Chains A and B, each alone.
Chain A
Amino acid sequence: MTEAVRHEHGGCWHCGEPVPAGVDIRAEIDGQPRAMCCHGCQTVARLIDSAGLNRYYDFRDALPERPEQAAEASSRDFLAWDRPAVLDHYAHADCDRLYRLTLVLENVHCAACAWLIQRFVGALAGVAEIRVDVADGRAHVRFDPERCALSEIAARLAALGYRPHLDSPQAGVARNQTERRQMLKYIVVAGLGMMQVMSFALSNYIGAWQDIDQQTERFFHVISMIVAVPVALYAGQIFYKSAWRTLLQRRMGMDVPVAAAMLLALFSSIVITVLDAGEPYFDSVVMFIFFLLLGRYAVLVARQNAGQLQSALARSLPVQTRRLTDTGAEMVALIELASGDRVQVSAGETVPADGRIETGTVMVDESLLSGESIPRRRSAGERALAGSLVREGQMTLEIEELGQSTILSGIVRLLDQARTFKPRMARMADRLASWFVAFVLTGATVSGLVWWQIDPTMALPVVLAVLVVSCPCALALGTPVALAAAARGFARLGVLITRPDSLELLPNITHVVLDKTGTLTRPDMRMAEVRAAAGVDPDRARVLAGRLERVSRHPVATAFARYDDGAAVTAAEAVTAAGVAGTVDGVEYRLGKPGFVGEWLSAHPTEPGEGQWIALATRERLLAWFRVDSPLRDGAHELVAQLKARGLEVWLASGDRRENVEAVARSLAIDQVRSACSPAAKLDLVRELQASGARVAMVGDGINDAPVLAGADVALALAEGADIARTQADLVVTGKDLSRVSAAFALAPRVRRIVRQNLAWAFSYNITALPFAAAGFVPPWLAAIGMSASSLLVVMNGQRLGRVRGKRPKVPGAAPDPATPSPVGSGA
């Protein structure tokens, strides 16, 4: 499959992206020259090849992200990690003086990534073990800091394109592991127990037709009890405990009726077996527990993979920072900083803490905090905020607020508050289930009392028949089983569900609010058009521009980066808010805003059209114009069209400038637009719509959207964006393709339909069977078969959601691939 994907569009051997025109970069892989799209890929591919690990290209089943500046990764970037304070804080030592440490890695996609890391980093002398968890992108390292510096390990990871971040030394990871292991044990015990007990029960059901003798039947009952009671008590623990906890808090939790049904059925079965009063229901109890556990496990894994708040914060902050002391500058880790310290931050670096600028003027990109995509100028006396990226210039910053007291972590906390405003569907379902349990209990008591008057010997069988036939198993199973299967189906489409409730809400949505930057558009810029002057080769102009822009950290430079062929540029200089200048082959060039370039030319150049134009010129003449824009993601048009076709009202809300937002809205035919919105303004918009009776879905990305995501009825986030959104969103869309969002909207009604079918079936079955059982027409063994069959039907109906027809997700991170059918078409 990988081979097919890569060769179909003749893309880069390493990352699969198309090789841009005018670029001819090759790397020898296994003796074969392979085309590369950029120097980043070339470096990584050469590294993999030289380490003899090129089998990675055969193993992988997902394509990696295009590495950014991987070539520059060196242990210098992580030097501060070798400081004792870091080891003390983040790692802990074994008895044999090996340190254990957890790193959060970016871009881990598949098992081949884990394999590559294990081979490449594990080969370092001094690294005793490195284990990569593909699901949550964490690497667990055991190493000897005296033989192998942590910075060396980090540099190796970064060189492969898996940029590491220190993970807070919380018990979180260990707790997750224990939780998962415990769950696995419960599931296996319940599963094996279920098989055993079912086989005993089946023998009796068949035996009932073939005149089984009393003694054998009794033997099967007893052995069922011997197996089922410990299994049910052990594997059902989490339900009993959770129910007990909610009861202690005087609430009716979801687990209360479930645990009550389990214990009641178990207890009555024991009574029946001991008194030899009829058919026990051990098989039903154990099966019930097993299927519920499967659902819980799926939810647990989804929740754990959603990532932790702390590591998301760590990702937005730099690895190290340059602290200024009386004796000079030193690289320190963030945990060593204190309020009042002075740090130096240069272009391309991220501000480590909130502070006031002492000296220097910089252009900072605060898009992580405000959503504003254009860098702002900040000079001495103004504040700079943690998490913002310095695009140009250099500054000395006096630190005021650190860590938890920064604006960045304030935003993170805002999320938690916003989240409590969410309507809780679960509460209603719980109330329904507990009412039903109360109803069944009353019914059983009443019919027991009535039969006591008529025929005392029939009282117990009738009570049990009533209890079993109307055991809300199918009722309780219907929703979780369908949701767990839906989670699998969605995962196949590339959509992860973090809050199953959202699937019930999604079909009811009336308004969709879309974010622009990073959601509808890609985070990087693109060269949309080249207009070369007469006699100038456009390809040559592009390559020239690529070389010149190498020094710039401005977002515009991302549009040119892929044309850079790596040739030497001398006297290269980035001029703040103007452009770049440099000398190539002895000729001086300027590239940038018309005003900047025009300083050299006699006539001030005028932009040839609408949009953002960049000029390239020598001292003598203008060579070319480049139009740059943020390209729309694949599937953006289809998404908007599909949402409108569903009768939904589509809004565009962005922190970006008005003209940019409106241009995007026009091209996508979106009528309702809000531009220059702060995160708070976006949240207000959502609240406003909700107040007018709308049910709002928010599609966003990035930390700045997180409060809005938490405030919306249903939140969808794109996984490419900052991880924080991932934890807050109900649905996480992986990859770069918006058609997956459309697919989620298309599949959700099916989920709701199947959940409703299940509930309707379970309800009507129970309601119909109850009078018959109360009237004494249903012997308990028939009631048990009926209940099992009913549960099985519900389970099988739910499983249909796991089989999404003919849709294979695109390889995450793959370039647009016309050969892969879009999930939209077949999902509708």
Chain B
Amino acid sequence: MNIIYVLIPLSVVLMVLAIAFFFWAVRNDQFDDLDTPALDILDEDEPTDPPRSNGDAGKDECGH
């Protein structure tokens, strides 16, 4: 049973990682639009949208 002393702290570390990942996702606008991305996959054409969010997030901070 001694293995739980390793595994359980490990699960806590994993939880912290999951939370960190989620926070990163929220900060990068991943949860702002929950409606349209579902449709993108149905689109056979080349994406015409300019690249969104991630690249732009950096730009936001300049000047403001």
Q: Which A residues lie at the B interface, using CB under 8 A?
A: 52, 55, 58-59, 93-96, 110-112, 114-115, 118-119, 122-123, 128-129, 131-135, 177, 181, 184-185, 188-189, 192-193, 196, 200, 216, 219, 223, 226-227
Does A185 lie within 8 Å of B23, measured CB to CB? yes
- A-B pairs with lowest CB-CB distance, top 8: A111-B35, A95-B63, A95-B62, A114-B36, A134-B35, A115-B39, A188-B22, A181-B26
Does A223 lie within 8 Å of B36, measured CB to CB? no
Q: A184-B26, A196-B11, A223-B9 are in contact. Are A111 and B62 (CB under 8 A)?
A: no
Q: A59-B39, A227-B15 are in contact. Are A133 and B33 (CB under 8 A)?
A: yes
What are 25 inter-chain pairs, A to B, with CB distance below 8 A? A59-B39, A94-B62, A95-B62, A111-B36, A114-B33, A119-B49, A122-B49, A123-B48, A128-B50, A129-B49, A129-B50, A129-B56, A131-B33, A131-B52, A132-B33, A134-B35, A177-B32, A181-B27, A185-B26, A196-B15, A216-B4, A219-B4, A223-B8, A223-B12, A227-B12
Does A55 lie within 8 Å of B43, measured CB to CB? yes
**Per-position binary interface string of chain B over residues 20-56, scored 1 when its CB falls under 8 Å from any chain A CB and 0 otherwise:** 0011001100011101101110110100111010001
Does B52 lie within 8 Å of A129, measured CB to CB? yes
Does A115 lie within 8 Å of B8, measured CB to CB? no
A residues in contact with B18, CB < 8 Å: 192
Which residue of B has the minimal Cβ distance to A226?
A: B12
B residues in contact with A93, CB < 8 Å: 63
B residues in contact with A219, CB < 8 Å: 4-5, 8
B residues in contact with A128, CB < 8 Å: 50
Does B22 lie within 8 Å of A55, measured CB to CB? no
A residues in contact with B39, CB < 8 Å: 59, 111-112, 115
A residues in contact with B56, CB < 8 Å: 129
Cα(A223)–Cα(B10), bound, Å: 11
B residues in contact with A129, CB < 8 Å: 49-50, 52, 56
Cα(A196)–Cα(B27), bound, Å: 24
Q: Identify which of A59, A119, A189, A196 contacts B48 (C-beta below 8 A).
A: A119
A residues in contact with B4, CB < 8 Å: 216, 219
Cα(A227)–Cα(B8), bound, Å: 11
Does A114 lie within 8 Å of B35, measured CB to CB? yes
Number of interface residues of B (CB under 8 A): 34
B residues in contact with A96, CB < 8 Å: 59
Cα(A177)–Cα(B38), bound, Å: 21
Which residue of A has the minimal Cβ distance to B40?
A: A115
Cα(A328)–Cα(B59), bound, Å: 43
B residues in contact with A227, CB < 8 Å: 12, 15
Does A216 lie within 8 Å of B1, measured CB to CB? yes
Which residue of B has the minimal Cβ distance to A98?
A: B59
Does A192 lie within 8 Å of B12, measured CB to CB? no
Cα(A165)–Cα(B55), bound, Å: 28
B residues in contact with A123, CB < 8 Å: 48
Cα(A272)–Cα(B18), bound, Å: 29
Cα(A135)–Cα(B39), bound, Å: 16
Does A94 lie within 8 Å of B23, measured CB to CB? no
Does B12 lie within 8 Å of A196, measured CB to CB? yes
Q: How far is the CB of B45 from chain A (nearest CB, A)?
A: 8
B residues in contact with A58, CB < 8 Å: 42
Q: How far is the CB of A271 from chain B (nearest CB, A)?
A: 22
Does A189 lie within 8 Å of B42, measured CB to CB? no
Q: How far is the CB of A566 from chain B (nearest CB, A)?
A: 33
Q: How far is the CB of B59 from chain A (nearest CB, A)?
A: 7
Does B63 lie within 8 Å of A122, measured CB to CB? no
Cα(A226)–Cα(B8), bound, Å: 12
Which residue of A has the minimal Cβ distance to B9?
A: A223
B residues in contact with A112, CB < 8 Å: 39
Cα(A59)–Cα(B58), bound, Å: 32
Which residue of B has the minimal Cβ distance to A133?
A: B33
Does A189 lie within 8 Å of B19, measured CB to CB? yes
Q: How far is the CB of A804 from chain B (nearest CB, A)?
A: 22
Does A94 lie within 8 Å of B36, measured CB to CB? no
B residues in contact with A181, CB < 8 Å: 26-27, 31
8 additional contacts (CB under 8 A) given A112-B39, A131-B52, A135-B35: A114-B35, A119-B48, A129-B52, A133-B32, A184-B26, A185-B22, A192-B15, A216-B4
A residues in contact with B11, CB < 8 Å: 196
Q: Identify which of A55, A184, A189, A200 contacts B31 (C-beta below 8 A).
A: A184
Does B35 lie within 8 Å of A95, measured CB to CB? no
| Residue of A52, A122, A131, A193 ringed by the most chain B CB atoms within 10 A | A131
| Residue of A110, A115, A123, A134 ringed by the most chain B CB atoms within 10 A | A115
B residues in contact with A94, CB < 8 Å: 59-60, 62-63
Does A188 lie within 8 Å of B19, measured CB to CB? yes
Cα(A227)–Cα(B9), bound, Å: 10
Cα(A133)–Cα(B56), bound, Å: 18
B residues in contact with A110, CB < 8 Å: 35
A residues in contact with B9, CB < 8 Å: 223
Q: How far is the CB of B55 from chain A (nearest CB, A)?
A: 10
Q: How far is the CB of B54 from chain A (nearest CB, A)?
A: 12
A residues in contact with B1, CB < 8 Å: 216
Q: How far is the CB of A173 from chain B (nearest CB, A)?
A: 11
B residues in contact with A196, CB < 8 Å: 11-12, 15
Cα(A129)–Cα(B50), bound, Å: 7
B residues in contact with A114, CB < 8 Å: 33, 35-36
| Residue of B22, B23, B33 ringed by the most chain A CB atoms within 10 A | B33
Q: How far is the CB of B43 from chain A (nearest CB, A)?
A: 7
A residues in contact with B27, CB < 8 Å: 181
Which residue of A has the minimal Cβ distance to B61?
A: A95
Q: Identify which of B5, B38, B43 contacts A111 (C-beta below 8 A).
A: B38
